[in-house]
Amino acid sequence: MKKSTPRPSSRQNRVFQLVRRGHRIYHQIAQLSAQLKPIEEMLRTEALKQPFEHILPEDGSADRAEWSARARSVECRVVLPGPQLVELFAENHPELPTIRRMCGARFGQLFTESLHVRITDTTTFRQQVAHLFTPEQGAQLLRHCAVIAESVVVWTPPPSTKGKPAQRRTLP
């Protein structure tokens, strides 16, 4: 006598369908993500080539800038972050001797030391540097205390431009 295999229940059928559909979507997303990566990289490159079109934040901080491009009914913003402060420096950090030399007696106002050297107050560090150093010295010190962050591409619908002057570039 032949053994009969049990038929899947309706619940099991729904689960199987969800798994198959989810698997197809997962592979579609993987394929589309692979296609999107070079497009976003080209947009980042284009944004870096157009520094005169960068929009700085309204609060006046120069920690980041944005570049926007529009096509019909869509907009893409490339967020270009400024260098991010390194908050914690190990004693063997390659920039630390230069930072110590540049700060001189002011080192204790900006950094605390224990096993590591730490920025005293990251929220006011840039303002303190601007107050304690000349603009050239301050810019140089900030370069030694920062790392460059990766830019981000953001896809959004274009804002309404009724009554507003065009500030953003539109691509054909």
Sequence spans of domains, the chain: 10-82+149-170, 84-147
CA atoms within a 13 Å half-sphere pointing along the CA-CB vector of 69: 14
Q: Is the CB of residue 117 less than 8 Å from the CB of residue 149?
A: no
Write the CA distances from 128 to 62, 83, 135, 137, 138, integer angstroms: 15, 17, 12, 12, 9
Pairing of strands 169-170, 64-71: parallel
pTM exceeds 0.85 for this model = no
User: To the nearest whole percent, how much of the chain has pLDDT over 70?
Assistant: 85
How far is the C-alpha of 160 from the C-alpha of 33, rounded, in Å? Answer: 29
> Looking at residues 16-20, what average pLDDT do you find?
89
What is the mean pLDDT of the segment spanning 10-24? 89
Mean pLDDT of 17-21: 90
- Structure tokens, 68: 């926007």
